[in-house]
């Protein structure tokens, strides 16, 4: 039986390793927060495959199973120095490398019947501020790329927009490498602390705050 929305959980997802990495910090962060209580709601963590199509299908099944109050999907962005709250998902797949099943789609839509883009429905600037107030680096990012991370982000927002979990809000955050994976990197404990702060902010802020977080390029 699905939970009532009053007690609906917070769904937090991460990915399995890809691109030759032995670990994916997005899943390590999600797993570390599984079962925690935030503002009276339980965090439910799940791992998605770094596979086009399969990741979106698994996410859709998780939405049907848990009927979450909000969904925060995490992904790894090696080379970024901060936690990156993604503002927009685009309806485009243009894979620079193959996914974990060897597929490498080029110039393909995530959803042929979908709009060009979706904005996150989580308060991206409030999430950034919460992390910064915790003493950690964070940015609002204007691009989630064109690989599986963006496909999942777009797929999430498309599913929410078309009624998969009518009351849920959703968004996506990229986490850096761990220090042992490359430079720049961030300690796992700091990533966990930052995402924990974001979940609190996401629950507490139905509307975003007024703060500059734009980009020149």
Q: Which residue numbers are catalytic?
A: 86, 149, 174
Nearest to 100, CA basis, from 21, 12, 14: 21
Of 173, 155, 153, 176, give the one whose Cα is nearest residue 164: 155
DSSP state of 101: T
Asked if residue 42 lies in contact with residue 24, where contact means CB atoms within 8 angstroms, the answer is no
CB 115, CB 155: distance < 8 Å: no
Give dist(CA 114, CA 158) in Å, integer: 7
Residue 209 CB neighbours (<10 A)? 15
Q: Is 29:15 a contact under the CB 8 Å cutoff?
A: no
Distance CA 180, CA 185 (A): 8
Cα–Cα nearest to 10, from 136, 154, 199, 176 = 199
Task: Report the relative pairing of strands 169-175 and 70-76 from DSSP bridges.
Answer: parallel
């Amino acid at each position: 039986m699905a939970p009532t929305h009053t007690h609906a959980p917070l769904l937090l997802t991460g990915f399995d390793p890809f691109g030759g990495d032995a670990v994916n910090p997005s899943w390590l962060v999600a797993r570390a927060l599984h079962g925690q209580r935030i503002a009276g709601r339980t965090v439910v963590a799940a791992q998605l495959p770094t596979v086009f199509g399969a990741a979106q299908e698994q996410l859709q099944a998780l939405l049907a199973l848990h009927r979450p109050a909000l969904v925060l999907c995490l992904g790894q962005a090696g080379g970024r120095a901060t936690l990156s709250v993604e503002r927009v998902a685009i309806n485009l797949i243009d894979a620079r490398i193959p996914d974990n099943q060897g597929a490498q789609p080029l110039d393909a839509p995530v959803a042929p019947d979908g709009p060009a883009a979706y904005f996150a429905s989580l308060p991206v600037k409030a999430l950034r501020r919460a992390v910064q107030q915790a003493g950690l680096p964070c940015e609002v990012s204007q691009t989630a790329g064109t690989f599986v991370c963006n496909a999942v982000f777009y797929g999430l927002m498309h599913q929410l927009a078309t009624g998969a979990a009518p009351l849920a809000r959703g968004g996506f955050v990229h986490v850096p490498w761990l220090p042992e994976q490359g430079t720049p990197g961030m300690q796992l404990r700091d990533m966990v602390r930052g995402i924990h702060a974001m979940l609190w902010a996401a629950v507490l802020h139905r509307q975003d705050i007024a703060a500059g977080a734009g980009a020149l390029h």
